[in-house]
Every structure is written in C-alpha cells, then in structure tokens.
Structure 1
Amino acid sequence: MQSTDKWSCGITKIMDTFSGKWRLNLFWIIAKNEGIGFNQLRNQVPEITNMMLVRSLDTLLSERFISKSLSGNKAPFHSEYYLTNKSKELLPLLLKLNEWENHSN
C-alpha cells in the first residue's frame, strides 16, 4: 500500500511507514525498552542485517515515530532510541488493534 498525493489518508500513511518487514517489530521493542541502544536492538532481532536495521530506524526517525539520543564524548557515540509524543499517542490505538485481532480469532 502506497500513499499518493492524489489519495492519501492517515491510515495509509501509517501503514506505509510500518509496512517494512522489521519496522513494526522495532517499534514494539522500543516501546517496551525506551532508551534501548542500537546493539541491544540488533540482539533482540538477530535475523535483521545491520543495513536493514539502519534503514528501518531511519524510516521511523524520518516519520517522527522514534527519536534518537547520542551520548559519549567521542566517536563511536552510543545511540539510544525512544518513542516520540506522536508514537505515544498512537501506541494505545495499536495495542487496541492487537487486542482486537487476538479476540477476533
């Protein structure tokens, strides 16, 4: 599903963002472990490649679903990922969808 300039609703845009193979999984992990580092994410999803992890995080960052904090005095810096306020508003809706699906079977 791809949103376009001619027809795009909010649901389509959200689905496009989370349609990547790893993005929703990473979102859930970050929601459960705010302040999680890159390597910790990598360990939680052992099947993901570093490139796909970077791309997925970049998408979530660019769409402002997560934020990134850097710490350390010199490179390599330590990255930590957090939900944004936008995501914190979306999270209850996603949890409700998850609950609905679990009860509809």
Structure 2
Amino acid sequence: MPLNEENGEYICSVEAAINEIGGKWKSLIICSLKDGKLRFNEINKKIPEITQRMLTKTLRELEKNGIINRKVYAEVPPKVEYCLTPKGKSVLPIFDSLCEWGKKYCEPSED
C-alpha cells in the first residue's frame, strides 16, 4: 500500500489494516486457521485454488506481520504447524462482520 511520501505514514488507518490482512489469500488463510492449528498441506487442501508458491509467500507475510505463528518441530520429516496469534485472532470478528455484510449485499436476492 502506498504511504504518504512526505512522512512515510499511512494516509488512513484502513489502508494500514488492508496492508496487514487484505487480499484474497491472506483472508482465506486467516479464516482457515480460525478453528486451530494446521499444517501446510492442510491449509492447501482448504484453499485448493492457491499455488504452493503463493501459499508459502503469503504465510511468510502473515508471519512477518505477526498475524500467524509458525512452529517447527524437530522431527524427521520436519513437522510445521501454523496458528493465529492473538493479533490474528483479533481480526476474526471483523471477518465475521464482512461475511454478514457480504450475505446481505453481495449475494443474489430471492425476489
């Protein structure tokens, strides 16, 4: 997201929020983790349209932004689990509201 070039700050707080959690893949990954920990392949199965490369990239961004935790277990083969951080969980009510808004305004009406 573009920043105000004069001071390096976001012009609007919505812009900052969208930068953290916006986009098709980030929101779907966050929603897939709302019920608990998942491994990479489990997330990939929940979002079959995403490529492994894009999933890896997006998971790294979410981890960097403090939205998800990545835990690596010292096993062979390596076991990696992803879960929402408290910051990530704090966005779930917002997503619930977006879902309700989508149901009300974006789905075809039965008139």
Give the TM interval when normalised to the shorter protein. Answer: 0.7 to 0.9
Distance 2:46 2:29 in 1: 9
Please give the TM-score of this superposition, normalised by the length of structure 2. 0.78
Are residues 1:50 and 2:52 paired? yes
Deviation of residue 19 (structure 1)? Answer: 3.2
Deviations 1:48-89 (A, max 9, x none): 111101001011111111111112434x42111111111222
Q: If the length of structure 1 is used for normalisation, what is the TM-score?
A: 0.81
Instruction: Give the count of matched residue pairs.
Output: 102
| 1:17 counterpart = 2:20 | yes
In 2, the alpha carbon distance for the partners of 1:3 and 1:95 equals 27
Point out 4+ residue stretches in structure 1 off by more than 6 angstroms. Answer: none
Q: Percent identity?
A: 26
Contact kept? 1:35, 1:80, Cα under 8 Å? yes
Partner of 2:43: 41
Contact 2:10/2:16 (<8 A) preserved:
no
Deviation of the 1:12 alpha carbon: 1.0
Q: CA RMSD in A?
A: 1.9
Q: 1:8 to 1:77 in 2, by over 3 A?
A: farther
Aligned to 2:88: 87
Counting helix residues as a fraction of each chain, which structure ranks higher? 1
SS of 1:68's equivalent in the other structure is: strand
